[in-house]
Amino acid sequence: MILGIAKGAGMIAPNMATMLAFILTDAEIPKDYLKKIFPKFVEKSFNRITVDGDTSTNDTVYMLASNLKPIKFGKEFENHCLEVMQELAHLIIKDGEGAGKVIKVHIKGAKTKRDAQVFAESVANSLLVKTAFYGEDPNWGRIFSALGKTGIEFKVEEVELYINNVLWIKNLKMINSEEKIKKEMGKDNVEVLIKLKEGKISYEVLTCDLTEEYIKINAHYRT
């Protein structure tokens, strides 16, 4: 059995922030094995989310095993553990301060993992992108601008942009109507797929839209 509890809604960015998460299991797991695999799970879950791009000095993820139940630890256990942590990460974004929708930024076809990560985080943390999704404004230039400001070279004319598997931009031209794209932007869960065609590396980051409610929350209390 694997259980997870997490707390956090603001100041959430890669390397976490003011977030607490506890993963509990009754499985009999060797300590050295757990220490080896757990950071990999954190990297693929809590370090792939951003609410506002801000981090702080306080963040913790614990995994505790009671060792009461002998199991055959391996891929099956690892997959279930990662699934729990990714679901918690998704719920943190869903519950983000003022959040109205969850947005997955999926970079595909980057040259390196570092390039893919930088591209994904640049789009996910862009205030103009986040507000565009709040207003359901299909201003694709904001996404391309977020890619361009990274300083990483790529062939902009080769980029394909999709929203929820609907082709949005190809050859720097809008393929589907604004009405169709706006409809997709209005959904509670949105995936933005950016195909770079520079390599074979993919990377995903979860973020949310930026709303007036976020501003109200953070403008009217002192931390």
What string of pLDDT tens digits covers the 223 residues of the chain?
899 998 877 667 666 556 789 999 999 988 899 899 999 999 999 999 998 887 766 678 889 999 888 887 788 999 999 999 999 999 999 998 899 999 999 999 999 999 999 999 999 999 999 999 999 999 999 999 999 999 999 999 999 999 999 999 999 999 999 999 999 999 999 999 999 999 999 999 999 999 999 999 888 876 6
Point out the catalytic residue in the list 18, 50, 207, 211.
18
Residues 17 and 114 occupy one common structural domain: no
Residues 80 and 165 occupy one common structural domain: no
**What DSSP letter does each residue of 64-111 carry, written as one string?**
EEEEEE----SHHHHHHHHHHHHHHHHHHHHTSTT---EEEEEEEEES
Give the H/E segment covering residue 207: strand 201-208
Q: Is residue 159 part of a domain?
A: yes
Known catalytic residue at 18: yes
Total domain count, the chain: 2
Q: Is residue 44 part of a domain?
A: yes
Residues 150 and 176 occupy one common structural domain: yes
Range of the domain at 147: 102-217
Look at strands 166-170 and 201-208 and give their pairing: unpaired
Tokens of 152: 């990483």
Q: Is residue 223 part of a domain?
A: no
Q: Do 35 and 77 contact (CB within 8 A), yes or no?
A: no
- Amino acid 112: pLDDT: 98
Q: Is residue 183 part of a domain?
A: yes
Here the CATH number for the domain that contains residue 169 is 3.10.20.340
- Indicate the SS3 state at residue 13: strand
pTM across the whole model: 0.90
